[in-house]
Amino acid sequence: MAEGENEVRWDGLCSRDPAVRETALENIRQIVLRKTECLCSLEGPPSRPPDGHSDAASVDGLNKLLARLLMLSKRCPFKDVRERSEFILKSAQELGIRIPRPLGHGPSRFIPEKEILQVGSEDAQMHALFADSFAALGRLDNITLVMVFHPQYLESFLKTQHYLLQMDGPLPLHYRHYIGIMAAARHRCSYLVNLHVSDFLHVGGDPKWLNGLENAPPKLQNLGELNKVLAHRPWLITKEHIEGLLKAEEHSWSLAELVHAVVLLTHYHSLASFTFGCGISPEIHCDGGHTFRPPSVSNYCICDITNGNHSVDETQVNSAGNVSVSDSFFEVEALMEKMKQLQECRDEEEASQEEMASRFEIEKRESMLVLSSDDEEVSPARDVSRHFEDTSYGYKDFSRHGMHVPTFRVQDYCWEDHGYSLVNRLYPDVGQLIDEKFHIAYNLTYNTMAMHKDVDTSMLRRAIWNYIHCMFGIRYDDYDYGEINQLLDRSFKVYIKTVVCTPEKVTKRMYDSFWRQFKHSEKVHVNLLLIEARMQAELLYALRAITRYMT
């Protein structure tokens, strides 16, 4: 019984060839059968770990296998794998083995499961996208299933992430996943940390590094300071941070390696924001995604396990508190009217440059008065905090302690004219992929707002994007920051600031309290704007520092 879950070959299930998948499934079935029969031959109830360390380890190994099969039965884009995984689970149960069932209500804690596309019901184009993702990662994760509200963006996101993690690049594969772990850990995002711990080991990473950052190579340890500042106070990044990494003697980074690392750090800081902002649930096969305890309802049957039926009532409240539908309807109407008025004002007169600069400073000061959360500090779990240093370091407004941060003027250094070309020069093709992703998120529209159709939402999208950049001290000379207060109410600003600056503090109440009449797909769209605006802001500060070092 030496076979552990990690010794089972899952790779064959990612093949496009049904014959290869069939062979892999048969091998897995035989391993599960062998383990099951061995446990059933032991004395005592088979579902209870027997005495002895080796027997307990055998039960644990089988449980991990069964949890992975449960995930495949619900999340694999290939129908044959879903059905065969369900069959293997039923076979184990018929032999007296307790099998797992899913916990929770689908990919998101904030969005009812029935509103999210079910695997197996997708169209041909979406199936191809799902199959690509599954073939690359060996899973169809919950982030993908929530982003699927916006297929055009999802395709760009998956293409970029695949390139960053798996295609040719300056950094070795295990370094890439470890940097993902470091970045996600800064925001206590155990969801992403767990995924990349698994990926890190899969590509041959040294398990000792996972015991704590101090066990990683000095070169990666040295990245800790940049990771910390970039995640929480990117406006403090200087060329000295860059110089320290590039001139660290035998542990130094090359410019190309550093750009790859910076892109990975910003990608995973932003993805942590999306994970918390959309209430992403643990993956089915991970801790918190399944249970071996029987359900409380006595008539629960095996078909429920694979069909995803739960004994708990699945109704979720879509609005916060006791706000009536008419009140939230009025909010949409008021927002539409403000957009119309602002457009008319724009057409009639244009503010002077001095007035525009003054409005930016006012909005920047006001953004500091918006509290991201009333909750107490979130103390990181040990298994996450081991991956970064200085756990007390977090987001602070740049007004704290009398600090004055000079305004970052986009006219002096911007993504389109400076950052894009620097990234593309040092890490070819990535600049193009990131640029495409920025543009899709920023320009994405279905010309709808809640129940209204044929609406030009560009003014609202720009207000959201520029508000985030304003919180980071970044100013657009040609934008009237007076529009932000007109279009974004306080509850929405609280949600934005929390998702972008302290995502680990996001609650369902915050998600429910803004745009109460809007669809979940529109709220996911908001999150796409938030994470891309955040990623661009971080990149601008880091790339400007690299440019200053180079010149």
Taking only the tens place, the pLDDT of each residue in 234-286 is 999 999 999 999 998 889 999 999 999 999 999 999 999 999 999 999 999 98
Chain-centroid distance, C-alpha 333: 32
Query: Of 287-291, 338-342, 407-411, which range is least confident?
Result: 338-342
* pTM strictly above 0.75: yes
Task: Give pLDDT, residue 361.
Answer: 72
Alpha-carbon distances, residue 172 vs 175, 253, 261 (angstroms): 5, 13, 11
Q: Map residue 545 onto helix, strand or coil.
A: helix
Q: Is the pLDDT higher at 340 or at 246?
A: 246
In a domain, 322, yes or no: no
Judge whether 537 and 472 are in contact, CB under 8 Å. Answer: yes
Q: What is the mean pLDDT of residues 290-304?
A: 61
> What's the pLDDT score for residue 107?
96
Residue 90 in any domain: the answer is: no
Structure tokens that stand for 70 in this block: 């449960």
pLDDT at 376: 43
Q: Give the pLDDT mean for 336-359.
A: 74
pLDDT value of residue 387? 65
Answer yes or no: is pLDDT of 324 > 80. no
**What 3-state DSSP class applies to 108?**
strand
Higher-confidence position of 72 and 491? 72
Active site residues: 189
HEC string of 501-519 equals HCHHHCCHHHHHHCCCCCC
* pLDDT tens by residue, 57-78: 778 889 999 999 999 999 999 9
Model pLDDT, residue 116: 94
For position 310, what pLDDT does the model report? 40
Domain containing residue 137: 103-291+330-550
The answer to whether residue 358 is domain-embedded is: yes
Would 461 be classed as within a structural domain?
yes
* Tens of pLDDT, residues 388-446: 666 767 777 766 555 667 789 999 999 999 999 999 999 999 999 999 999 999 999 99
**382 lies in some domain:** yes
Termini Cα distance of the chain: 61
Residue 28 located in a structural domain? no
Banded pLDDT at 306 (limits 50, 70, 90): very low
Q: Which helix (H) or strand (E) holds 448?
A: strand 448-449
Q: Are 228 and 393 in contact (CB under 8 A)?
A: yes
321 within a domain of the structure (yes/no): no
The tally of domains found in the chain comes to 1
- Is 93 domain-assigned? no
